[in-house]
Structure 1
């Protein structure tokens, strides 16, 4: 039987689980590994036109560059400078104030994460792949 204190805890855990980023490099690798052993035409049909191609020593390298949106908010320090004035009616005086502050804005768009994937093909068949970058998640 659940106690009344454990219900808010369960709700909080459920919300945290819902917010978790389930995309992983392992899932990306599994998706890309599905192209190994397949014809090059299926690779291009699945990923689109490659960004670059290289040919050397009887093998062909096809490169794709992807940008993934960053799941987190942009957090970066900023420095502000403010000016103000104040007064107290009927000759009570007046003055000018200057202040500085340090802020951490939350919620802006974080820069996207890049991913580069290179597939090696021989005789029109995908042999292997290699990935690089923090955006290689699926």
Structure 2
């Protein structure tokens, strides 16, 4: 039974391990030799394009969220009031606190990929940026 519980953990670790620049390159290499229309269908509309000397350059800009959590100090301030009904007392409370927040993550990482096409067929690609992982 405990082996069955560890299967999702192993699958999650395998997914994280596959996020490498080499895996990204392998995914992008799949578009080389394919029609430009298939490239656009797979990646969406390019951010920019440039044409010169019979070739066309298509650029995509991607942003990968960082997987590292961000830990940051925080200060809190609270106000409150309470009452005890007829004949009782009432009061107002003020409190402060200091703690550490956990969330968000580090800054997202960018990735820029430029594909070269000639005659409507993808010839090659070039990537740049730390977010180029698949």
Structure 1 and Structure 2 fold alike (TM over 0.5): yes
Following TM superposition, the consecutive aligned residue runs of length 4 or more in structure 1 with deviations greater than 6 angstroms are none
1:1-138 equivalences under 5 Å are: 18-19=12-13, 21-22=16-17, 23-74=19-70, 106-138=102-134
Give the whole-Å Cα distance in 2 for the aligned partners of 1:104 and 1:116.
35
Give the whole-Å Cα distance in 1 for the aligned partners of 2:122 and 2:104.
40
Give the whole-Å Cα distance in 2 for the aligned partners of 1:119 and 1:25.
16
**Would the alpha carbon gap of residues 74 and 49 (structure 1) be closer, same or farther in structure 2, given more than 3 Å must change?**
same
Superposed CA RMSD in Å reads: 2.8
**SS state at 2:103 partner:** coil
CA deviation map 1:47-75 (0-9, x unaligned): 00000000111110000000111111125
Give the whole-Å Cα distance in 2 for the aligned partners of 1:28 and 1:127.
17
**Please, what TM-score do these two structures have when normalized by structure 1?**
0.64
Give the whole-Å Cα distance in 1 for the aligned partners of 2:125 and 2:71.
34
Following superposition, the deviation at residue 79 of structure 1 comes to 10
Choose between structure 1 and 2: higher strand proportion: 2
Unaligned runs of 5+ in 1: 1-13, 81-102
Give the whole-Å Cα distance in 2 for the aligned partners of 1:17 and 1:75.
27
